[in-house]
């Protein structure tokens, strides 16, 4: 994979090292690949939840995973954009971090921006697996098939519908979900 705007690769072996780097660099850096050992090496790595929590503390987010070689992989970490959505799991993590007094000003600002622009609650109905009326109507008798999908598949489908920017895109996605349900499968 060739990156158009390559980010530096920085190895950390402990949560504290990552935290210290973010203290010094979160405001001025555009992101990096957190390099870690792959499980096959048997070497220690930072737990994923710890990485995500450190990102939340400083208003950053994790995204893509990339394998660098047989022994190392990377997790892309960048500052959270204002239009970034907040999952229920990240909101649970955030509540723990806030209760522990661990949030830094940049992380607090990211939360405030998301609450102000609606991105903090954007996924609430998706996380609760609330089927929107237009999808429910389109499914009709196939609703039972859709309801039989795993919770993660339903969430993926609901997010896909909700994230459509144009009405036609939303309608097309609903049609694909209905067609897949008609075949007894999920689009994901």
- Report the pLDDT value the prediction gives residue 3, as an integer from 0 to 100: 58
Per-residue pLDDT tens digits for 129-162: 999 999 999 999 999 999 999 999 999 999 999 9
Q: What's the length of the chain?
A: 188
The CB density around residue 148, as the number of other CB atoms within 10 Å, is 12
**What are 62's strand-pairing partners?**
77
Q: What is the pTM of this model?
A: 0.87
Do residues 62 and 55 make contact, with C-beta atoms less than 8 angstroms apart? yes
Per-residue pLDDT tens digits for 36-47: 999 889 998 999
């Amino acid at each position: 994979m060739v990156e158009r705007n390559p980010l530096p690769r920085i190895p950390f072996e402990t949560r504290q090292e990552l935290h210290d780097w973010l203290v010094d660099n979160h405001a001025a850096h555009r992101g990096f690949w957190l390099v870690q050992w792959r499980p096959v090496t048997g070497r220690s790595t930072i737990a994923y939840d710890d990485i995500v929590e450190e990102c939340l503390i400083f208003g950053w987010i994790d995204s893509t995973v990339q394998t660098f070689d047989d022994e190392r992989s990377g997790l892309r970490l960048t500052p959270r954009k204002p239009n970034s959505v907040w999952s229920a799991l990240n909101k649970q993590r955030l509540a723990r971090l806030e209760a522990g007094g661990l949030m830094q000003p940049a992380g607090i600002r990211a939360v405030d921006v998301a609450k102000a622009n609606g991105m903090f609650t954007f996924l609430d109905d998706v996380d609760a697996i609330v089927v929107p009326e237009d999808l429910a109507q389109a499914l009709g008798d196939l609703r039972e098939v859709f309801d039989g999908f795993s919770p993660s598949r339903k969430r993926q489908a609901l997010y896909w519908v909700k994230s459509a920017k144009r009405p036609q895109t939303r309608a097309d996605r609903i049609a694909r979900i209905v067609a897949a349900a008609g075949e007894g499968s999920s689009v994901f």
